[in-house]
Amino acid sequence: MKTDMGNHRWVKENLDLGTDPVPLESCYSDAHYQLEREAIFKRCWLIVGRVEEITKPGEFFVKDLPVADTSVLVVRGMDGQVRAFHNMCSHRANKVVWDERGTCKRYFTCPFHNWTYDTTGALRFVTDEVNFFNLKKEELGLTPVACDVWEGFIFVNLDPRPRESLLEYMGGVADQLKGYPFDQMQETYGYSVDERVNWKVLLDAQNEVYHLPYLHKTTFPDFFADNDHRCVRNLAFRRFGRHCVYSTERSDKHKVIRAEEFALKADPMSFVAASTMIGAFDFYTIFPNSVIGFLGGTFLHYRLWPMGPEQTVWEIRLYTRKPKNAGEVLAQEFLKAGLRDTLHEDAGSHERTQSVLKSGAKKHMILQDEEVQIRFFHKMVDDHVRAAAG
């Protein structure tokens, strides 16, 4: 597939998105943030981890989700099944599990008063039980959270009655990515960055390739196919319900630097695009707050966790094949360094944008056709907020 370098291509396929400037108020308003928490983060499926994090019965992790006013305990039960619960004791609502991750020996015991639950969430022991009143232990288990797994990604949904199953929610993304060797990949590198930025501003900064030749001129300058005016054009933009992907083609003008030449020989598999890929870089926005970005034989996974209207923790993971020798490690170090430096430049731009937004001097952002992904994402946010408002 070759990139069509023409102008105004995406608007024709996405008439519902229009061409108007997009309002910025939702990127700093506390009132809008409160609506997003209820309409999006308490209703949508959210990725909280990978199955590799809990492979053995009793292994667990805890994900604090201040955006949804809770903490979620995810455990692989003694029966091998992955379950999630609000991390909250039935007695007086303390957090039952205080560690970030670990292995339990069949039971979780609340450190406050020793109430004890098994890995299915059932309440198994109450200290001084006889001194309570009409205690119905069978009704006092941990509160379950809807939990399901797609391609090794563990999702939760805080809606007590999710409107869709996870597979329905993922829709066409699941079909497009069927066959990707997720089970052969490992989380080799990861970063966590606490930023003074709205979660949507953070995503928008990643959600286009228009900026690459400029902001990333020393780190990622000439990787993707551009037109005669050096403007990058998307190879594809596809929508899957509330999710989308954009894809770009590798440029034949890319200057292969010497370290890259070395890396290509030392670990060729890290550079070979998977058969599920559309182009050289496929960037999926998994609504609301995840990104899975495929680059050659590796993939990136971002999770954006809002901490407030103007604060977000950006979790970045780079998955590679497990390196078998020092040469493969060095090749992956090269890839990681380039990506991390690029994201580091992005982080600066996130906070610079956020620092002036509230002035209100600019009330809209002006988007070109190659920024259609941003237009689409903001529409999805608006649609969810409106739908919840009834």
Residues found near another protein in the complex (CB under 8 A):
100-101, 187-195, 215, 217-219, 221, 257-260, 262-263, 265-266, 316-317, 323-327, 329-330, 333-334, 337-338, 340-341, 343-345, 347-349, 351-352
Nearest distance from C-beta of residue 262 to another protein, angstroms: 5
Smaller CB separation from another protein, 47 or 173: 47
Smaller CB separation from another protein, 54 or 278: 54
Smaller CB separation from another protein, 39 or 318: 318
Smaller CB separation from another protein, 256 or 361: 256
Say how many CA atoms lie within 13 Å of 162 toward its Cβ. Answer: 19
Q: What are phi and psi of 131, to 5 degrees?
A: -95, 0
Nearest distance from C-beta of residue 316 to another protein, angstroms: 8
Separation of first and last alpha carbons in the chain? 43
Nearest distance from C-beta of residue 337 to another protein, angstroms: 5
Nearest distance from C-beta of residue 320 to another protein, angstroms: 11
Structure tokens at 223: 């990787």
Smaller CB separation from another protein, 137 or 250: 250
Report the C-alpha gap between 144 and 73 in whole angstroms. Answer: 9
Nearest distance from C-beta of residue 270 to another protein, angstroms: 13
Query: Which CB contacts under 8 angstroms, 24+ apart, belong to 347-351?
Result: 347/193, 347/195, 347/314, 349/205, 349/211, 349/215, 350/195, 350/197, 350/201, 350/202, 350/205, 351/195, 351/196, 351/197
The closest of 292, 204, 287, 278 to 237, measured between CA atoms, is 278
DSSP E strands in 136-241: the ranges are 144-150, 153-157, 185-195, 236-240
Nearest distance from C-beta of residue 339 to another protein, angstroms: 11
Smaller CB separation from another protein, 70 or 320: 320
Q: Could you tell me which residues come within 8 angstroms of residue 19 by beta carbon, excluding any fewer than 6 positions away?
A: 11
Smaller CB separation from another protein, 279 or 338: 338
Nearest distance from C-beta of residue 239 to another protein, angstroms: 31
Smaller CB separation from another protein, 53 or 164: 53
Nearest distance from C-beta of residue 264 to another protein, angstroms: 12
Give the strands of the sheet with 123-125, arranged side by side: 107-109, 116-118, 123-125
Report the C-alpha gap between 268 and 330 in whole angstroms. Answer: 12
Cβ atoms within 10 Å, residue 259: 14
Nearest distance from C-beta of residue 32 to another protein, angstroms: 26
Smaller CB separation from another protein, 193 or 236: 193
Q: Could you tell me which residues come within 8 angstroms of residue 114 by beta carbon, excluding any fewer than 6 positions away?
A: 125, 127
Amino acid symbol at 28: Y
Helical (H) or strand (E) element with 313:
strand 311-321
Smaller CB separation from another protein, 39 or 347: 347
Residue at token pair 């551009």? 226
Structure tokens at 309: 């209207």
Q: Is 350 helix (H, G, I), strand (E, B) or coil?
A: helix
Nearest distance from C-beta of residue 209 to another protein, angstroms: 16
Say how many CA atoms lie within 13 Å of 100 toward its Cβ. Answer: 3
Q: By the 8 A CB rule, do 277 and 283 touch?
A: no
